[in-house]
Structure 1
Amino acid sequence: LLQAWLPSGQSIVLQPRKGFYVAFQQVTGADGHTRQLLAMSRSHVRLRPQTREKIYLAAQLLLSLLFIGVVGWWVARSVARPVQALRRATRRMAEGELSTRVGRQRGLAHDELAQLAGDFDLMAGRIEALVAHDRAVLQDLSHELRSPLARLQLIIDLARRSSDPSEAEPYFLQAEGEIARLDHMLGEMLALSRMEGGLPGMERERVDLAELVHDAIEQFRIDADAGRVELKLASVDSLVVSGNAMLLERALGNLLANAIKFSPEGGQVELTLRAEQRFAALVLRDHGPGVPDDELNLLFRPFFRGSNAARADGHGLGLAIVERVVQVHGGTIEVRNGDGGGLEIRVGLPLA
């Protein structure tokens, strides 16, 4: 019976005992060999091919939906985690915690959310630096204002106690000088504050640096002669930059005034203007006391004065204004102690 049924593709089901079935079927494998398949079961249910296909399709659909749900849950979780991190960081920033950063979150690779988190960290760092700078300047300004105001109060008190106008006149002259110094310092602070704001709408024009240098030398020659300091133009190339002539003139004036102030009698201030690749390099060198190496990076901080220049006139704002002017023109400024003493400041401005 098996030899007659099996080659025809039919299957044989036997029931040796109740509740137990044995099935025989001949199958041909992928290698071409024919084998007999034996199956045993406690139930005997034969599904029609159409029903079996429907079950297979339903199972595939169920598995596909399960897979799509798992993938969707993973994607939603991956997106929600960095978004929640951004929300938490934003709340902390709004509460005044300026050191808040999003950092690198899990799920962030190089997609738009990662870029947004990076931009947020850059913004937070910039805001923290600006607030810290403003607080430091405010503290320095409060300290700088305390001394002249105290002197002014003392001078006015002495003038009030004078018995006649001739005795009070010197005190009023001193008070006038203190008021003038305060006015100058506040004017410098206002200029620095405007530059820190980015100088919106700054008018740019083509500026001949060589002409600007020659004019500045002539303007400060009187101050240099009064201090017996020689102003020397080592070399000046004709270079043109794009910028604001008034601001550049002010920056150059601050550099020259600073160099003359710290030069000894009989000293020399050298100024060089030359082209270096795509930049105009302005180098100013004096032969004064210089600055301690550990204080060089503090020279451009508002109200800073070196330990070897604590008694010098001024408020420590000149170089801070120079740095800001150079920055808004897209340039660079470097400072170092020259060989043999003195200070050397190098300003680089992009050529027009």
Structure 2
Amino acid sequence: ARLERAFTAVRHFSADAAHELRTPLTILKGEIEVTLRSPAAEEEYRRVLASCLEEVDRLSALVEDLLFLARSEGGAVSLPQMPVNLADVLAEVAQALQALADTADITCTVASSPTLWVQGNASLLFRLIFNLGENALKYTPVGGTVTVALSQRGREATLEVKDTGPGIAPEEQARIFDRFYRGDPARGRGGTGLGLALARSIVLVHSGRITVESVVGQGSCFRVVLPLVPSS
């Protein structure tokens, strides 16, 4: 069964890579070809090179995301067993989200959190919380609100990311964590379409669960539940 999952993950990675890399590579190739065909000033060459470098960086990040998804689906992701304080991770994420919110003229509130320890990888947990916060900001209109809160419920840590965006139709909620799923065209806001798929994979490799509650016209709440480190 594990070998079958690994083969399935490889097939998915190949299909995803072909799907997502084709367009940016075509653009990159075209920009270079046009520049080489005609003489240009040094400033123009620098502009094109800077643009190409930016696209290469984006493609590199995309490939890393696709590889992580493939490895996690194939059961090949091994996490160091290290206690991580979610409150510290949330404090770091809060700074990044606040900068995005200020630019978008959205109120972003990150509630103060108790010390909550989980087993896992701090970098992946940062990515998880940031992805959910960034997704909420992306779909929240100017003047709207995004709220991020962390709490303890029994032996579990619960993270909630709420927004006042357009909401997600019931028929879309079951597919919102699928890679590349866009759903309602009104929700098309750019990006790779991998953010929520990555969030789900990160949650699963931390033995947690992720759900969404949403009402069209009122907003959404993404909820992540992770097991706490047992008290000694």
TM-score under structure 1 normalisation?
0.58
Q: CA 1:225/1:234 → structure 2, altered by over 3 Å: closer, same or farther?
A: same
SS in structure 2 at match of 1:210: helix
Q: Higher RCO, 1 or 2 (CA under 8 Å, sep at least 6)?
A: 2
SS in structure 1 at match of 2:79: coil
State the partner residue of 1:146: 22
Shift of 1:269: 0.8
State the partner residue of 1:275: 152
State the partner residue of 2:89: 212
Q: CA 1:335/1:131 → structure 2, altered by over 3 Å: closer, same or farther?
A: farther
Shift of 1:217: 0.6
The one-letter amino acid paired with 2:70 is S
Q: CA 1:310/1:158 → structure 2, altered by over 3 Å: closer, same or farther?
A: farther
Distance in 1 (alpha carbons) for counterparts of 2:219 and 2:122: 28
Distance in 2 (alpha carbons) for counterparts of 1:294 and 1:327: 23
Are positions 1:198 and 2:84 aligned together?
no
Distance in 2 (alpha carbons) for counterparts of 1:192 and 1:262: 24
Q: Is the 8 A contact 1:332 1:349 kept in 2?
A: yes
Shift of 1:315: 1.0
SS in structure 2 at match of 1:298: coil
State the partner residue of 1:161: 37
Q: Percent identity?
A: 36
State the partner residue of 2:137: 260
Shift of 1:164: 2.1
1:173-192 paired onto structure 2 within 5 Å: 173-192=50-69
Of the candidates 187, 190, 198, which is equivalent to residue 321 of structure 1?
198
SS in structure 2 at match of 1:258: helix
Distance in 2 (alpha carbons) for counterparts of 1:249 and 1:265: 25
State the partner residue of 1:305: 182
The one-letter amino acid paired with 1:295 is E
Distance in 1 (alpha carbons) for counterparts of 2:190 and 2:61: 12
Greater C-alpha radius of gyration: 1
State the partner residue of 1:36: none
Q: Is the 8 A contact 1:242 1:351 kept in 2?
A: yes
Distance in 2 (alpha carbons) for counterparts of 1:233 and 1:310: 24
Are positions 1:229 and 2:106 aligned together?
yes
Q: CA 1:310/1:154 → structure 2, altered by over 3 Å: closer, same or farther?
A: farther
Shift of 1:200: 5.4
Which whole-Å deviations, capped at 9, do the CAs of 1:198-227 have from their partners, x for residues lacking one? 355521222222222122112321122111
Are positions 1:288 and 2:165 aligned together?
yes
Shift of 1:242: 2.3
Please give the root-mean-square deviation of Cα atoms over the aligned residues, in Å: 2.5
